[in-house]
Amino acid sequence: MSTLKTINVIHPSSAVNNIVNDASGNVAVGNTLAMGSSFKRNRIINGNMLIDQRNAGASVSTTAVTTTFFVDRWFANPTQTGKFTVQQNAGSVTPPTGFSYYLGAVSTSAYAVTAADYFYVSQSIEGYNFSDLGFGTASAKTITVSFVVYSSLTGTFAGSLRNYAGTRSYPFSYSIPVANTWTTISVTIPGDTSGTWVGSTNAGSAILFFSLGTGSTFSGTSGAWAAANYVSATGAVSVVGTSGATFYITGVQLEVGTKATPYEMQIYSDQLAQCQRYFAMTFSQGTAPANNTATTGALRGTARVINATSQIEPAANWRFPVTMRSSPTITLYSSGSGSTTAQWNNDGSTSYSANARSQFVSDSNADINNAGVVLTASVPWQIQATASAEL
């Protein structure tokens, strides 16, 4: 170990200092700073678990062979129903320094994982945000995944980085030595020079898994690429195997290089916009989408002659807050206080229409109208909606 004590660093041919150090630890660069990686270096969206549009902090149960989203961009699709729940800040422990939120998974039973089982939390990465890493080519770049994790259990835990097709996997393991204590983890993964990885498109390219219990069929050797569908390393702790066991995680970052840099905090509005590329809603932030819970933010349309058959129906165009990854799936919700679901609500009363629908959907906007029912003209109608373009 050696220390170089100097104030100025200058190239022999340079007229100005390349680097100037001061007594407070600051560094001034005289000209352009060229980095091996970049700012905006984290390929994980909402890695600090801040944005929770769908659930607004509520606990979410999981169902077999069903994709369920928790905080934005984070999801599971387990093999069994009801073995764990997920909630933003579950258990209300103090988050690690520098963070206010975490994703919390809690085991709801003591389930013995079978060979074909898998339980995890994960995030898919879009091709546009991953293709520059060159995976599947001879120039694939080494990456580092870092995160802060907390569990009521101790031992060797595991996860995996996998291509979207499920044909290339890199299982990794990490240790949580002390229960109920935040532990910072860093895993360096060599770039995969084999297999098929989606290029620079809006399709899914990779998935980062954190296992909560995985059977042998979907577990592989830690620290090696394999032509297989693995979501965990072999022999890892099973969180779902202990009733009430917890697994909390935040500060997830995936970046180029061999060094885990500090978590790249985002301006809130930037991070929300990143999430809205995959999920958007007319509800206010902080309101979980549901029928008959909120009028604030609702789309409003006055019934008028709207189509070729001269039906009178309400219609509104919803322009999404950002361009979405693809044309999204639209789900409708009644606003107001009635009992009807997913229908237009006559403003100021509990009179509902029927046959609300979405048409002409693109990645930028959608028409929300009504089919086949003549409604009262010149009266405001309202409806809530969500749009999902998730991977």
Partner 1 sequence: MYTNAQYLAYNGKNDGIRCDINGVTSFVPLDPANTDYANLMALVAEGKLTIAPANP
Please report, as ranges, the residues that interact with partner 1 according to CB under 8 A.
63, 65-66, 202-203, 307-308, 325-332, 342, 357-362, 371-372, 388-391
Q: Cβ closer to partner 1: 4 or 308?
A: 308
State the nearest-atom distance from the C-beta of 275 to partner 1, in Å.
16
3-state secondary structure 152-165: CCCEEEEEEEEECC
Q: Shortest gap between Cβ of 325 and partner 1 (angstroms)? A: 7
CA distance 215 to 170: 16
Q: How many CB atoms lie within 10 A of CB 201?
A: 11
Q: Report the alpha-carbon distance of residue 127 to residue 150 in Å, rounded.
A: 30
Which CB atom, from 5 or from 319, has the smaller least distance to partner 1? 319
For the bound state, the minimum distance from the C-beta of residue 368 to partner 1, rounded and expressed in Å, comes to 9
Report in angstroms how near the CB of residue 170 gets to partner 1 at its nearest.
24
Least distance to partner 1 from the beta carbon of 313, Å? 13
**Measured from the CB of residue 84, what is the shortest distance to partner 1 in angstroms?**
18
The gap from C-alpha 6 to its chain's centroid, in whole angstroms, comes to 44
In eight-state DSSP terms, residue 45 is S
Q: Considering only CA atoms, which of 2, 14, 22, 46 is closest in space to residue 265?
A: 46
CB nearer to partner 1: give 201 or 376.
Answer: 201
Single-letter amino acid, residue 297:
G
What length does the chain have? Answer: 391
DSSP 190: P
Q: Specify the residue, 234 or 388, whose C-beta has the smaller distance to partner 1.
A: 388
Complex with partner 1: residue 21 or 326, whichever CB lies closer: 326
Of 342 and 379, CB closest to partner 1? 342
3-state DSSP of 203-228:
CEEEEEEEEEEECHHHEECCCCCECC
